[in-house]
Structure 1
Amino acid sequence: MTTAVNRPLTVTARIDAVDSAPAPAVYTATVYMNTHRDNFDGYEPHHPLAAATRRDDSALRLVFHSSDRIRSHEDAADAAFEVGNDQGTDDNGQTWPGNIRSVSVGDVIKITGPDARTVHLSVDSYGFTPVPEPTTLVALTDPRVTHRD
C-alpha cells in the first residue's frame, strides 16, 4: 500500500554575485598658499597659509586615484604640484584656477590617503618636506597669491 506524503515545496534558485570592482583607492589634496612676505624662501610654521579655492570661493580638493603613478602621499603631492602649475588635471578633470598663482616653494600641500592618514608637505626647491599641521590659516585675499582676471 502507498501513502501520500505532503512535502513542503522547495525552490532552488541560483544567485549570481554582482561583479563589482572595488572603488579605487583615493588621495585628496588641498593646497595651502603661503601668504608670508618671504614665502618663496620656504615654509616656516609661523607663516600664514590660505587654502586654494575655486573661482566661486568653494574649497578646491584635487583627487588622485591610486595607480602605478600614484602610490604614496608624496606621489599625490607631486601630482597636485603639477596641476597647480597648469600641467594637467586631477583625476576628476579639475584644472588649477586661473585667479590663483601657481604652486611654489613655501606652499604646503595637505594629502589624505586611502588609509585616512593625512600628511602635510611643504614644497621645497626639489621635492617635499613633511611639516606639522599648519595652525595659521587666513582667507585667500593676499594680492601676491591671487590675481583676479
Structure 2
Amino acid sequence: MTRHANTEVLDRLHTLMHGLRRHLQEAVREDGEGLGPMEARCLGYFMRHEGATQSDLVQHAGRDKAQIARIVKALHERGLLQSTPDPDDGRCQRVTLTEQGRSMQRTMQLRRQRFERAMLAGFSDGERAQLQAQLDRMLTNLDAA
C-alpha cells in the first residue's frame, strides 16, 4: 500500500468521525436537554455499568478526576444520577441512573441506533461482520503503536 493510500484511509476515518461527532452532538442538544457531550458519555457509561464508581469512570474515560467529579455532581443535581454507599466499603459510592436519566439515555441510544443503521444501509451481514473485525484490528494496532 502506498503512502498516499494510507492518507486516504485516515482522511476517510477523519470524515466519518467528524460526521459521527456532529450527529451525536446534535442528538445530545435535541434529546439530552442541554447536556454536554461528556455528560452524555457519563450517562451512557453508568447505564452500561450500573453501580460503577466515579473512579471506574475516571479510569475508563481517561479524564481528570476533578473533571469527572464536577460532571457527576452536575448530573446528580439535575436528577439524572443517584449514588448509594457501597455495602462493602461505605467510603465508596455506587452510581446509578435515575428513571429520568434512564429515559434520557434510552432516547439518545435510539437515535444512535438509527444513525448506525443509516450509515450501514446496504451492507450485508457478512460485510458488517467484516467491518467490525477490521475496526477491532485497527483498535488493537492502535493500542500496540
TM range (shorter): under 0.3
Q: Higher relative contact order at CA 8 Å, sep ≥6: structure 1 or structure 2? A: 1
Structure with the largest fraction of helix: 2
Q: TM-score, normalised by structure 1?
A: 0.24
Largest Rg, 1 or 2: 1
Q: TM-score, normalised by structure 2?
A: 0.24
Structure with the largest fraction of strand: 1
